[in-house]
Amino acid sequence: MLAPYRMSRVIIAGPNNVQETAVKELHDMKILHIVEHSKSKLADIGKPLESASKLSEILVKIRALISTLNIKQEEATFKLKKSLLEIESTTKKLSDEVTKNLEGLKSIEEQLAKKDAVKQELEILKDVNVPLEYFISYKSLAYFIGYIKSKYILTLREELSKITNEFMLFDSATQKGIFIVLFVDVKKKEQIIQFLQKAGFLPLNFIHISDFKGTALSNLSKIEEEISKLHNKIESVKKNLEKLSNEYESFLLAADKFLRIELEKAEAPLMFASTPSSFLIKGWIPTDDLSKSIERLKTATKNKILVHFEPAKKHDKVPIKLKNPKLINSFEVLMNLYTMPLYKELDPTFFLFLTFPILFGFMLGDFGYGLVTLIIALVLKKMIPKARHFFNIFILASLSTMIFGLIFGEFFGFEELFGREIPHLLSRSHELMPLLYIAIGIGVVHLNIGFTLGFINEFKSHGLVHAIYAKGSWFILQIGLVLLLYLYINSLINLLNLVIGIILLFIIIILMLYKGEGVRGPIEIPSLFSNTLSYARLMAIGVSSVQLAMVINHQSEQFFHGSPVMILFGVIILLIGHIINIGLGLLGSFLHSLRLHYVEFFSKFFHGGASKYVPFGIKKQN
Amino acid sequence: MVELSSGLLALSSAIALASSAFAAAWAEKNIGVAAIGAMAEKEELFGKGLILTVIPETIVIFGLVVSILILTLKY
């Protein structure tokens, strides 16, 4: 608590022939935070192990298979008891089979597309009882196939008989108009075209059925049969792929995990410094685990490596592993969101644990809402154990909300139940000004905790005098202002004295801050006031939440005196309204409580910016 | 009948709150867009982006305090 784990700087050196063993052991131990070596005159970075290129090749294949077989990406549950060679051959076999299936599928789909086009054309011609082989080019005969507008069909016949009596006409009504097939003497072609243009003739081209014989109807049934056969084929290929996917799912996932780990090991030397015959690893190990892990490493490599270690020095960039007891460590989530504290700094997680739920509860502050969010948090924690830390925060915040709900006497926005007032210490909807003062009071206390922590930080890193200049001055400013105002209000000094006093006070504070924090210090004086006032949001968000809840209750109440349908309507308004209000309240209270910590509270003592401790072997989370 | 002065007080209180709310929203919009852009490049910036985005909220808090003070004026 309050400080992260102690770390030791470790340098591991050894000959190249034990590098692989050392990497394997380090990966299994998951203890060393490796600091990447950057290329220098003294030593180049290491080369990846020989197996790396092969591993990544197979890994790419496996990932491709996983995506083509539509396998859901999840952590493999069982360990693979196969050698790399077996994985490779299985992968190759599977990959070939899948490719074969996919290619088959593609060719079938192409065939199907062609048949579909043929089918469409045949369907148009199915009512025309003319063998398809007649539709070729003749020397003495011209033919037209297409649609004309329905009103022209009678005139067409008349017109035709005027032009010639050697013609053959089939017609049938369709949605697009009258479908016609017309054979005429080629000499009359021009005349016919002229008339057809007037009749809005829409010619059709049949390119897919030029080499078909027999009537369209007989061809159609044949084609339909073929199409359904192709569909069956597609089904069977898809089933095949599905079978493969089911059969190899666990293998692929396990192989993916196995290869990822192996690749990580194989590529680890890229982070090392190396000479032609030796390697050197720089990194950090928690001091508590130091001797145990060095022992293990030495045994694994048969004492062929050299390990040097020393505690962290003042200006080292130490990776941070936060150290907090159970429950409090849930609030490390909020630190991860922000940044890691520096090695020598106070770890603010404990203070987040202390004040975050209070600020949250003050804003939401409704017993009913607290109860709902508590139940939701408990259920979700069971359902998503991965995010349990996050839900722990919510559980604590909900409990605090319920406590504040009792203090404010609120239950789903109601301040009275069954005609009786709920006992309360403070009513948020009526006593606005007291609520504002309390909110700002909380702010003053919270900020002063921040200044105190800042004082401790400065004292530890720069000594007492510096701490008084940089952080103590803020206390002097506050005490001075309060005393001056007290004297003035009780008429112990007059206005002139007050002004002179305030000016003197500010001159002193500006000088102190300038000495303590440089130019930045005095500039921050106005922020003291804006930061304090910022805590007014505790009241603002709370009141808006209450008012919204009351509006919802009031609106639905009107419906409860009506018919059953109206009552149902009222219940729906009540439900939806409160769900929205709880959602808004959760979001608002969470963000604003977080913001009050990050911006107002942390700026008083916290620097941060250290990197997180991520030991080799643990999957990095980006 | 309600006095004119009380109506004016309510109106000015509303103006104080509304204008500061608009100002805060406008400022937050600009910062939020930039923060999302930065987060797309580097996801660790979520915390910093969140803080920067909510900084202008203070404006509307000031507006609220001022509007409450106006409402409590004696008339």
Helices (H), A199-215: none
pLDDT at B75 over 60: no
Nearest to A533 among B47, B61, B72 (CB): B61
Work out how many domains chain B is built from and give that number.
Answer: 1
Banded model confidence at residue A79, pLDDT cuts 50, 70, 90: low
Q: Which of A79-88, A290-299, A321-330, A447-456 has the lowest mean pLDDT?
A: A79-88
For residue A544, give how far its alpha carbon lies from the nearest alpha carbon of chain B (Å).
Answer: 11
pLDDT at position A617 is: 82
The residue among A168, A196, A201 whose CA lies nearest residue A182 is A168
A404-449: per-residue pLDDT in tens?
999 998 888 888 777 777 788 888 888 888 888 999 999 999 999 9
Q: Is A534 on the interface with B (CB under 8 A)?
A: yes
pLDDT at position A77 is: 64
For residue B56, give how far its alpha carbon lies from the nearest alpha carbon of chain A (Å).
Answer: 10
**Which of B20, B59, B66, B68 would you mutate first to test chain A, the one with the most A CBs within 10 A?**
B68
Highest mean pLDDT among A39-53, A419-433, A585-599: A585-599
Banded model confidence at residue A374, pLDDT cuts 50, 70, 90: very high
Two structure tokens written together for B73 = 């004026």
pLDDT at A360 over 90: yes
The CA distance from A374 to A396, in Å, is 8
Q: Within a domain: residue B9?
A: no
Highest mean pLDDT among A143-147, A490-494, A507-511: A507-511
Q: Is A592's CB within 8 Å of B54's CB?
A: yes
Nearest to B51 among A432, A433, A599 (CB): A599
Q: Within a domain: residue B10?
A: no
Q: Within a domain: residue B64?
A: yes
pLDDT at A526 over 80: yes
Task: Give the list of residues 6+ apart from residue A205 with CB closer than 8 angstroms, or none.
Answer: none
pLDDT at position A61 is: 86
Structure pTM? Answer: 0.74
| Tokens 């790396």, residue located | A52
Where along chain A do its domains lie?
47-114+221-271, 118-220, 349-418+428-604
Nearest to A530 among B50, B58, B72 (CB): B58
pLDDT at A276 over 80: yes
| Tokens 């000015």, residue located | B12
Contacts of A590 in chain B (CB under 8 A): none
Print burial letters for A219-246: b (CB count within 10 Å at least 16), e (below 16): bbeebeeebeebeebeeebeebbeebbe
Q: Within a domain: residue B12?
A: no
Residue type at A46? G
Banded model confidence at residue A253, pLDDT cuts 50, 70, 90: confident
For residue B16, give how far its alpha carbon lies from the nearest alpha carbon of chain A (Å).
Answer: 15
DSSP string, A225-265: HHHHHHHHHHHHHHHHHHHHHHHHHHHHHHHHHHHHHHHHH
Range of the domain at B33: 21-71
pLDDT at position A622 is: 38
Q: Is residue A394 within 8 Å of residue A411, measured between CB atoms?
A: no
The total of other beta-carbon atoms located within 10 Å of residue A59's CB is 18
pLDDT at A394 over 90: yes
pLDDT at B51 over 80: no
Q: Using the 8-state DSSP alphabet, how is residue A312 labeled?
A: -
Banded model confidence at residue A70, pLDDT cuts 50, 70, 90: confident
Name the maximum alpha-carbon separation found in chain B: 61
pLDDT at A94 over 60: yes
Helix/strand/coil for A185: strand
Q: Is A591's CB within 8 Å of B50's CB?
A: yes
Return residues 281-340 of A near B (CB < 8 Å). Answer: 337-339
Q: What does pLDDT average to over chain A? A: 85
Q: Which of A20-29, A85-94, A119-128, A266-275 has the lowest mean pLDDT?
A: A119-128
For residue A67, give how far its alpha carbon lies from the nearest alpha carbon of chain B (Å).
Answer: 24
Contacts of B55 in chain A (CB under 8 A): 599
Print burial letters for A291-326: b (CB count within 10 Å at least 16), e (below 16): eebbebbbebbeeebebeeeebeeeeebbbbbbbee
pLDDT at position A399 is: 94
A146-187: per-residue pLDDT in tens?
888 877 777 777 777 777 777 778 777 777 778 888 888 877
Contacts of A537 in chain B (CB under 8 A): 57, 61
pLDDT at B21 over 90: yes
Nearest to A540 among B46, B48, B61 (CB): B61
Domain A47-114+221-271, CATH: 1.20.1460.20
Q: Within a domain: residue B39?
A: yes
The residue among A353, A505, A361 whose CA lies nearest residue A428 is A361
Count, residues in chain B: 75
Asked if this assembly's ipTM is beyond 0.90, the reply is no
Q: At the topology level of CATH, where does A118-220 sit?
A: Alpha-Beta Plaits (3.30.70)
Highest mean pLDDT among A117-126, A249-258, A437-446: A437-446
Q: Is A537 on the interface with B (CB under 8 A)?
A: yes
Two structure tokens written together for A141 = 């005969």
| Tokens 């919802």, residue located | A552
> What percent of chain A stands above pLDDT 70?
98
- What average pLDDT score do residues A98-127 get? 86
Nearest to A622 among B43, B58, B64 (CB): B43
Q: Is A534's CB within 8 Å of B61's CB?
A: yes
pLDDT at A574 over 70: yes
3-state SS track over A351-400: HHHHHHHHHHHHHHCCHHHHHHHHHHHHHHHHHCHHHHHHHHHHHHHHHH
- What average pLDDT score do residues B13-36 get? 92
The CA distance from A606 to A608, in Å, is 6
pLDDT at A403 over 90: yes
* Angle (CA) A499 A504 A507, round 5°: 125
User: How many Cβ contacts (< 8 angstroms) between chains A and B?
Assistant: 44
Q: Is residue A308 within 8 Å of residue A302, measured between CB atoms?
A: no
Nearest CA in chain B to A588: B54
DSSP string, A550-562: HHHHHHHHGGGGS
Banded model confidence at residue A369, pLDDT cuts 50, 70, 90: very high
Banded model confidence at residue A71, pLDDT cuts 50, 70, 90: confident
Q: Is B68's CB within 8 Å of A622's CB?
A: no
Q: Is residue A370 within 8 Å of residue A612, measured between CB atoms?
A: no
pLDDT at A621 over 60: no
Nearest to A339 among B47, B54, B62 (CB): B47
The residue among A597, A613, A612 whose CA lies nearest residue A393 is A597
Residue type at A268? A
**Which of B31, B61, B71, B74 would you mutate first to test chain A, the one with the most A CBs within 10 A?**
B61
Q: Is B57's CB within 8 Å of A536's CB?
A: no
The CA distance from A595 to A600, in Å, is 7
Backbone torsion region of residue A170, taken as left when φ is above 0, otherwise alpha when ψ lies between -120 and 50, otherwise beta = beta
**Which regions of A136-247 does DSSP assign to beta strands (E)?**
141-148, 167-174, 177-185, 202-203
Two structure tokens written together for A524 = 């921050």
Q: Is residue A244 within 8 Å of residue A98, measured between CB atoms?
A: yes
